[in-house]
């Protein structure tokens, strides 16, 4: 089930005039999440592009840019303090952070906060790189991608760690037996908003992973960010599903015949060096096929 367009409020909780690049999907995701959560929300923002572009009064809700890795710990303190003061029921506690802050430097803080059953919603905007510092690789950078720390050289071309070793954040979070987690994409806003709504009804931690292409880092035309995000789902590179109290189910229908991975890679400059290499493309197709089959097989 997704949200119906008429259920989506026209009220905005972000003021116009943020500092992001045109077509930044992190801003889009934050905007959509706040539409669902409403003004009674405290937003804790780990360092990353989103925190920096929200400067000077963009959010209309209380917004706290914390350190790179400590947002889950800060929100734990807020959750417990509000409980101690008898004020917890009144407010949604939201963390927004990037894949670097989530998969890498902040993973232990997030793990701790989930394990303690703190009551908060965590949204990770996954642009598969550290964009705020200019586009270095992260634990979620896909195999073959060019970033500033995985350049295309004569000896090595792009990210070369084994594709199987890329961090699967959904699996890591699911291993915590979290009450609610969802894999979402910026290209499916009504689905995303429905997952955020569901997350907000959970007593305890909930996690939303949002695939968020970055035009600047991925070298895609601004007008095509959402299209690229959709292609990720249509090729099976990203699968949209939710985990509710251990029950796993797909949240987006997948056509029998998925599009070939090449269609997802072609609009992205970060994969340009691979496009003339049929062997590399075939390799990536196999990686996607395996990952897709494994995710599908794990559904309840």
Partner 1 sequence: MKTEFWNGNMAAARAAQRARVQSIAAYPITPQTHTVEYLAKFVADGELHARLTKVESEHSALSACVGASSVGARTFTASCSQGIALMSEVLFFAAGLRLPIVMAVSNRTLSVPVNIWSDHQDTLVNRDTGWIQLYAASVQEVYDLVFTAFKIAENADVLLPVIVAYDGFILSHASEPIVPISQEEADAFMPPPGQGTWPILDPDNPQQFGEVLFPEWYPDFEYKKHQALVGSLGIAAQVWREFGAITGRTLTPIDTWFCEDAELLFVGIGSMMQTTRAAVLGLRARGAKVGLVNIRSFRPFPEQELRQALAGAERVVVLDRDIGYGTTGMVYPDVLRALYALPQRPIALNMIIGTGGKEITPQTIERCFELGLEASGERTVLWPDARGPEEGIPYDESIQLPPAPQPGGCALNGGAG
Ligand X SMILES: Cc1ncc(C[n+]2csc(CCOP(=O)(O)OP(=O)(O)O)c2C)c(N)n1
When CB distances are held under 5 to 8 angstroms depending on the partner's kind, the choice from partner 1, ligand SF4, ligand X, none that residue 20 binds is ligand SF4
Which residues are bridge partners to 92 per DSSP? 41
Name the CA radius of gyration of the chain, rounded.
Answer: 18
84 binding partner 1? (CB under 8 A): yes
Is residue 72 a contact partner of residue 109, using CB atoms and an 8 Å limit?
yes
* Interaction mask 111-150, partner 1, x per CB under 8 A: xx--xx----------------------------------
Kindly state the smallest distance separating residue 291's Cβ from partner 1, in Å.
30
- Our finding on whether 26 is near partner 1 (CB under 8 A) is no
> Is the CB of residue 35 less than 8 Å from the CB of residue 6?
no
What are the structure tokens assigned to 140, written together? 């979620």
From 60, 64, 61, 57, select the one nearest 18 (Cα to Cα): 57
Instruction: Examine residue 67 and tell whether it contacts partner 1 (CB under 8 A).
Output: yes
Integer Cα distance of 223 and 116 in angstroms:
42
Kindly tell me which of 87 and 290 has the beta carbon lying closer to partner 1: 87
Site mask, ligand X, residues 106-145, x = CB under 6 A? -------------------x-x-xxxxx----x-------
Nearer to partner 1 by C-beta: 105 or 261? 105
Options 29, 36, 43, 48; binder of ligand X; rule CB under 6 A: 48
Residue 164 exposed, middle or buried by CB count within 10 Å (0-12, 13-18, 19+): exposed
CB of 70 to ligand X, least distance (A): 9
Taking phi first (over 0 means left), then psi (-120 to 50 degrees means alpha), and beta for anything else, what does residue 33 get?
alpha
Contact 196, 33 (CB under 8 A): yes
Residues, the chain, total?
300
What backbone phi and psi angles, to 5 degrees, belong to 241?
A: -155, 165
Residue located via tokens 């890329």: 166
Site for ligand X in 9-28 (CB under 6 A): 26
Which residues lie near ligand SF4 (CB under 6 A)? 20-21, 24, 26, 49, 53, 127, 131, 214-217
Which residues lie near partner 1 (CB under 8 A)? 39-42, 44, 51-52, 54-57, 59-67, 69-70, 72-85, 87, 90-91, 108-109, 111-112, 115-116
Which residues lie near ligand X (CB under 6 A)? 26, 47-50, 68, 97-101, 125, 127, 129-133, 138
């Amino acid at each position: 089930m997704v949200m119906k367009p008429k259920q989506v409020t026209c009220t905005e909780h972000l003021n116009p005039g943020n500092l992001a690049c045109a077509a930044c999907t992190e801003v889009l995701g934050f905007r959509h999440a706040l539409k669902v959560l409403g003004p009674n929300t405290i937003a804790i923002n780990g360092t990353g592009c989103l925190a920096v572009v929200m400067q000077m009064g963009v959010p209309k809700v209380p917004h706290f840019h914390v350190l790179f890795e400590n947002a889950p710990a800060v929100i734990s303190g807020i959750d417990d303090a509000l409980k101690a003061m008898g004020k917890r029921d009144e407010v949604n506690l939201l963390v927004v952070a990037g894949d670097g802050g989530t998969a890498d430097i902040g993973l232990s803080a997030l793990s701790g906060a989930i394990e303690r059953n703190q009551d908060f919603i965590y949204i990770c905007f996954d642009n598969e790189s550290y964009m705020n510092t200019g586009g270095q690789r992260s634990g979620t950078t896909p195999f073959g991608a060019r970033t500033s720390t995985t350049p295309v050289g004569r000896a090595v071309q792009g990210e070369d760690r084994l594709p199987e070793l890329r961090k699967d954040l959904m699996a890591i979070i699911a291993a915590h037996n979290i009450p609610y987690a969802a894999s979402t994409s910026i290209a499916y806003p009504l689905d995303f908003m429905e997952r955020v709504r569901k997350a907000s009804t959970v007593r305890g931690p909930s996690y939303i992973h949002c695939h968020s292409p970055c035009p600047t880092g991925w070298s895609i035309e601004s007008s095509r960010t959402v299209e690229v995000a959709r292609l990720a789902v249509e090729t099976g590179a990203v699968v949209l599903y939710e985990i509710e109290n251990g029950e796993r189910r797909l949240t987006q229908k997948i056509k029998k015949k998925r599009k070939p991975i090449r269609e997802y890679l072609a609009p992205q400059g970060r994969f340009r060096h691979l496009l003339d290499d049929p062997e590399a493309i075939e390799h990536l197709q196999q990686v996607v096929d395996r990952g897709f089959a494994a995710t599908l097989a794990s559904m309840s």
